[in-house]
Amino acid sequence: MRIGIFGAGGMAEALGGQWAATGHEVMIAARDQAKADALAGKISARAGTWEETARASEVILLAVPAPSAPEVLAVAGKSVAGKMLIDCTNAVGPGATLTAPDQAARIAAAAPDAHVVKAFNLCDVDVWRMTPPVFGGRPLAVPLCGSPEAVEVVSSLVRDIGCTPLNAGGLDRARLMEATMAFMVGLWFDGHDAQACFPPLPV
């Protein structure tokens, strides 16, 4: 698949690196061209402007800070239309509060002709670097919210990094994933064992 990535930071490197290593064509766009070039060189990808990257891609991973996402999408412009747009952004402020109550809806409003899928926001970047992310013998489950067609496409990219996709419903449910992330991170920051809230079900 032709995958564009907006951003050249940790998430871009982790997921872009995995997808490039599994044979996808990855293209990086960032506000600093030198950083886009450097990451592209590191993970065997190409680099381009926001617009070039969007135009060349079937799927775009939005991996910039949540507040800047609408601005980046505005610069990329019409080239984002019709594309699968993966929103992994977390609008989280101090004290693990949500700074935007429905970030995925903001992304969808900024790119009304794209097919937005919320995914990859629940785990830390170091989890996305794992090859594969498997815990206690169980592959990491990755919930996705979006239209069934878009979720199906992005699910194949989840499988490619050794994880199990979970169709978690429409994009209207993305706000639940965003709130879950903030709530769990808040527990974790407070020193609690957040993972123990979800014991494995007996098989």
Ligand X SMILES: NC(=O)c1ccc[n+]([C@@H]2O[C@H](COP(=O)([O-])OP(=O)(O)OC[C@H]3O[C@@H](n4cnc5c(N)ncnc54)[C@H](OP(=O)(O)O)[C@@H]3O)[C@@H](O)[C@H]2O)c1
Quote the CA–CA distance of 165 and 140 in Å, as a whole number: 9
Nearer to ligand X, 10 or 169 (CB): 10
Of residues 34 and 199, the one with the C-beta less far from ligand X: 34
Residue numbers at the binding site for ligand X (CB under 6 A)? 7-12, 30-32, 35, 63-66, 68, 72, 88-90, 121, 124-125
Q: Which two tokens stand for residue 161?
A: 């990094």
Query: In the complex with ligand X, which residue's Cβ is closer, 68 or 147?
Result: 68
Distance CA 54, CA 185 (A): 32
CA distance 121 to 145: 11
To ligand X, the closest distance from the beta carbon of 202 in angstroms equals 30
CB of 146 to ligand X, least distance (A): 16
Between 76 and 199, CB nearer to ligand X: 76
Least distance CB 203 / ligand X (angstroms) = 29
Tell me how far, at minimum, the Cβ of 201 lies from ligand X, in Å. 25
CB of 30 to ligand X, least distance (A): 5
Tell the smallest beta-carbon distance from residue 23 to ligand X (Å): 23
Q: Which is nearer to ligand X, 137 or 198 (CB)?
A: 198
Rounded distance, CA 87 to CA 121, Å? 8
If we measure between CA atoms, which residue out of 31, 27, 34 comes closest to residue 54? 27
d(CA 68, CA 89): 10
- 102 vs 148 by CB, closer to ligand X: 102
**Which residues have a Cβ under 8 Å from the Cβ of 117 and sit 6 or more positions away?**
84, 85, 86, 87, 144, 145, 146, 150, 151, 153, 154, 171
Residue located via tokens 């992310």:
133
Whose CB is nearest to ligand X? 9
* Matching residue, tokens 């429905």: 102
